[in-house]
Amino acid sequence: MKVITSISQMQQEVQALKNDKLSIGYIPTMGYLHEGHVRLVNKAREENDIVIMSIFVNPLQFGPNEDLDAYPRDFERDREIAKNEKVDYIFYPSVEEMYPSKPSVTLVVQKRVDVLCGSTRPGHFDGVATVLAKLFHIIQPTRAYFGMKDAQQVAVVDGLITDLHFPIELIPVETVREEDGLAKSSRNVRLTSKEREEASVLYKSLKEAEKQIFAGERDIEVIISNMKNTISKNSSGAVDYIEIYSYPELENLEILEGKFIIALAVKFSNARLIDNLVITL
Ligand code: AMP
C-alpha cells in the first residue's frame, strides 16, 4: 500500500493505472476509520482492480461553529486498517496541498440542500461538492463509494456527477451499525457512556416509524411526532430535525408513497448524530 501526500504524484500514479486500463474504486473519507468505512473498501475491493482511499478533513465543509479542530484524527491507526483491508493507495494530502491559497472557484449546490443537514449547516454541501470535484479530477475513479448514513450527501453527489459529467459510477452502500443499531460514526467516540447507551434510540425510532408505516400509518406529522416522543423520552439528546422527503430528490411529499427518506439529527453534549431509513412503498 502506498501513502501519497502530493497531488502531482497521485496524478502520475493514476495516469499509469489508466494506461494499464485498470478500474479504480475510490472511497473518500475524513479518516478515523471504522467498520462503515471498511464496508465501503470491501465493496470497492470486490468490484475494481485498484482501490484508492482518500483521508482529508476538508475545512471547506465545516461551518465556523462546527467541530473542524475537534474532529477525531489518527493517521497511524487508519494506515493499519487500510493496509489490512488491502487498500492500494491512501491519498493523504495536507490542507495546504489541497488549498494552497483562497480558492478561485468553488461550487454552489442548487438542489437537495435546502432541507435536512443542508438547512442547519449552510455551505456544508458546497464544501463537500467542491472538494469532491477536486478529488474526482485527481483520482479519476471508475466507481466512487459513499455510505447511505450520509444519504443527503449521496443525493448531492448524484447531482454533482450528473451535472458536471463525471464519468463515475456512484455506488451507495448501506449503513453499518453497532449491535444496538447505532450507526457507526467517527463522532460516536465523543458521546459520554450514558449518551452512548441512549443513542440506540435513534435507530429504534426509525424502525418504529417504519413499522407504523407498514401497518398503514400515512400521516407524516403523526409519524414524526411519535419519533420525537420516543427520542425525548429515552435520551438526553436534543432533536435537531426529523423530516420525511422523497428520495433522492428530497422534495416535500403530499402523500407517503414511492421512495422516501425518514432522516434525523440529534445533538448530544459533544456530538451531533445523524441517521436515516429509506423506504419504498
Ligand atoms: P466520513 O469519513 O465520515 O466522511 O465518511 C466517509 C464515507 O464513509 C462516507 O461516504 C460515509 O457515508 C461513509 N460512512 C460513514 N459511516 C458509515 C456507516 N456507518 N456505514 C456506511 N458508510 C458509512
Atom of ligand 1 nearest to the CA of 174: 21
In this prediction, residue 92 carries a pLDDT of 98
Q: Answer whether residue 99 shows pLDDT above 90.
A: yes
* Residue 37 near ligand 1, beta carbon < 6 Å: yes
Q: Give distance in angstroms: CA of 49 to centre of ligand 1.
A: 22
Mean pLDDT of the chain: 97
pLDDT of residue 53: 98
What does the block give as the cell for 23?
478500474
DSSP structural state of residue 237? P
pLDDT at residue 260 is higher than 90? yes
Smallest CA separation from ligand 1 atom 7, residue: 29
% pLDDT > 70, the chain: 100
Using one digit for the tens of pLDDT, what is the confidence trace for 34-53? 999 999 999 999 999 999 99
Tell me if 147 CB under 6 Å of ligand 1: yes
pLDDT score of 184: 97
The H or E element spanning position 242 is strand 238-246
C-beta separation of 30 from 76 below 8 A: no
> In the chain, which ranges are continuous DSSP H helix?
7-19, 35-47, 75-84, 95-98, 116-120, 124-139, 151-163, 193-198, 200-214, 220-234
- Mutation to probe ligand 1, out of 61, 85, 150, 180 (largest number of atoms < 8 A from CB): 150
Q: What is the pLDDT of residue 65?
A: 86
- pLDDT tens for residues 196-220? 999 999 999 999 999 999 999 999 9
Instruction: State residue 67's pLDDT score.
Output: 86
pLDDT greater than 90 at residue 250: yes
Picking from 6, 3, 65, the residue whose alpha carbon sits closest to that of residue 31 is 3
Which pLDDT score is estimated for 81? 98
**Tally of residues, the chain:** 281
The kind and range of the H/E element at 54 are strand 50-55
What's the 216 CA to ligand 1 centre distance in angstroms?
Answer: 32
* Closest Cα to atom 22 of ligand 1: 147
Ligand 1 atom at minimal distance to the Cα of residue 183: 19
Q: Is the pLDDT of residue 22 over 90?
A: yes
Is the predicted pLDDT of residue 144 greater than 90, yes or no? yes
Residue 156's pLDDT is what?
A: 98
124 is catalytic: no
161 lines ligand 1 (CB under 6 A): no
Question: pLDDT tens across 184-193, in order?
Answer: 999 999 999 9
Ligand 1 binding pocket includes 54 (Cβ within 6 Å): no
Q: Residue whose CA is closest, atom 13 of ligand 1?
A: 147
Strand, coil or helix: 3: strand
25 labeled part of a ligand binding site: no
**Per-residue model confidence as pLDDT tens digits over 55-89:** 999 999 999 988 899 999 999 999 999 999 999 99
Sign of CA dihedral 144, 148, 150, 154: positive
Best of 35, 40, 41, 168 to mutate for ligand 1, by most ligand atoms within 8 A of CB?
Answer: 40
Q: Is residue 106 scored above 90 in pLDDT? A: yes
Condensed to tens digits (0 to 9), the pLDDT of residues 152-178 reads 999 999 999 999 999 999 999 999 999
Domains of the chain: 2-173 (3.40.50.620), 186-276 (3.30.1300.10)
CB burial class (10 A; 0-12, 13-18, 19+) of residue 15? exposed
* pLDDT on residue 109: 98
Mean pLDDT for the stretch of residues 264-281: 97
- Predicted TM-score (pTM) of this structure: 0.96
